[in-house]
Each structure stands twice: as structure tokens, then as C-alpha cells.
Amino acid sequence: MELRGKTALVTGAGSGIGKAAATRLAAEGARVAVLSRTAEEIEKTCAEIRSAGGEAIALTADTSDEAVMRNAVSELVGRFGGIDIVVANAGINGVWAPIDDLKPQEWDKTIAINLRGTYLTLHLTVPHLKAAGGGSIIVVSSINGTRTFTTPGATAYSATKAAQVAMVQQLALELGKHRIRVNAVCPGAIDTSISDNTASRNKQETEVPVIWPEGEIPVTGGKAGKAADVAETIAFLASDRSRHITGTPIWIDGGQSLLR
């Protein structure tokens, strides 16, 4: 229960990595604000946390909407009194297509949710971390755009993930004097439902066909990781055990990005 007395905000917490992170932080004693655009999903996440003896509130918000996010953060602070841990996880794969096929509105949507959403999450919560005398920010990036560039048509997605790591390293220096640590986790293939919401067009135009007979994830023989694998690292970065770590991306991919 090393996070007892701490308050955490987890965005995109209705499913997948966000849900796993929220439940893991709650298991360590943190009060958790579970935020997502989908009310039904976050209510289920909150119910699971409460049934396990934890404390959680549900916040319905689109992270790219300033007014809605401002209200959500205000509700969180009003309920729990402050913020100590921020997990900026909300994001989409968006549309994967050749650059001359990718529509401007498709590009804009990915940038809005993945990058503007991360910016607004940090913009609105950092004042509360400063007021608390420090804290930990964990941004969920990806191996795409940071170590690998082989996903066909994922230009917009990869650009946002690279930018998130740049933000983490920039802010680690800016916020260090406030005792705020900023780190990134960069998952590879994880067994979540995010791929169900990915639109892909004309994949054959951009992909370079490669076959890994023994699988592309060395540690697991090709099997995807679990959301819990990422959540464990997030819990570590949220805790005092990582007190001397900041500005650091951690790749959680079983060696996938080294092979790809």
C-alpha cells in the first residue's frame, strides 16, 4: 500500500492499459480518478476498484476538450483535495494510410486526441502537482515513433508518440525544481482492444513485408504482452521507488522494438 494517501488521475481508464493502471494504483492505496469519454466503461472500472476495497470516482471527459477537461480536474480536486500522480494514457490509433491518402481531418483527429489531449491533461494538472510539493507524471507513448517506424501508414500516430517522449524529456527538466518527475512508458504489442478501433487503408502501398518465423517478440515467443505488464511499470514510476528517475522512456515490449 505504498501509495496510500496519494491521489491519481488516469485518463483513458475505461479499458486496456488505462484500466489496468487505475486498478493497480488503487490496489497500492491511491485514490483514483478514472477518466474516459465512455461513461459506462469507467463506471465499471470504478465498481471493480470499489469492490476490491479501493476508492475511485468516474470522470467523463474528452481529453482534447479544454472546457470539459477543466471541469473534470476541478471535480477531482474538489473531491480528493489535490493530485499527486497523473497517468496520461488516453489515445487512439486513428487512421493508418499512405500519407497521400491520409485525410487532413483524420490527421487532425489523431493529433487532437493523442497530443492535444496529453498537453491539456498536463497543463491542467501540473499546478496541482506543484501545490502538492511534487508528484509523478507518466505518459503512455509507444514503441511506434520512438524505436520502430515499420507500422504501415501510421504516420500521424507515430508522430504523436514521438512528440510525447519529447514532451516528457522537456518537462522533466522544467518541472524538476518542483520535485515533479515525468517519465514515459512505451508499450509494444499489448493484448487490448485498441486495434479494434484502428482504420487501415491501402496497407500494401507502404508496408515492407518481413516474416519472423519464431515470432517478433523474443521474450514471449511472439505472444503479445498484457496490460498488467504496463500497469506494473506505471505503479513503479508513480511510487517513491523511482524517486531518482525522470525524463526516461521505458520500452515494455519483450524486445519487440529491438527486432523490428
Query: 134-176, pLDDT tens digit by residue?
Result: 999 999 999 999 999 999 999 999 999 999 999 999 999 999 9
Which listed residue (15, 30, 140, 157) is catalytic? 157
Tell me the mean pLDDT in the region 105-115: 98
pLDDT digits (tens, 9 = 90+) for 41-58: 999 999 999 999 999 999
Where residue 173 sits, what CATH number does that domain have? Answer: 3.40.50.720
196 confidence band (pLDDT: 50, 70, 90)? low
Confirm whether 73 is domain-assigned: yes
Q: Read out DSSP for the chain?
A: -TTTT-EEEEESTTSHHHHHHHHHHHHTT-EEEEEES-HHHHHHHHHHHHHTT--EEEEE--TT-HHHHHHHHHHHHHHHS--SEEEE------EE--TTTS-HHHHHHHIIIIIIHHHHHHHHHHHHHHHTT-EEEEEE--SBTTTB--STT-HHHHHHHHHHHHHHHHHHHHHGGGTEEEEEEEE-SBSSSGGGG-EE--GGGT------TT-S-GGGTT--B-HHHHHHHHHHHHSGGGTT--S-EEEESTTHHHH-
Residue 193 binned pLDDT confidence (cut-offs 50, 70, 90): low
Asked if the structure places residue 123 within a domain, the reply is: yes
Report pTM: 0.94
Domain annotation covers residue 2: no
Residue 213: its pLDDT value, please? 81
Within a domain: 214: yes
- State which residues form the domain around 95: 7-259
> Could you tell me if residue 235 is inside a domain?
yes
- Looking at the domain assignment, is residue 1 inside a domain? no
Active site residue 157: yes
* Number of independent structural domains in the chain: 1
Question: Is 59 a member of any domain?
Answer: yes
pLDDT of residue 240: 97
User: Does residue 109 carry a pLDDT above 70?
Assistant: yes
Give pLDDT, residue 249: 98
Please report whether residue 155 resides in a domain: yes
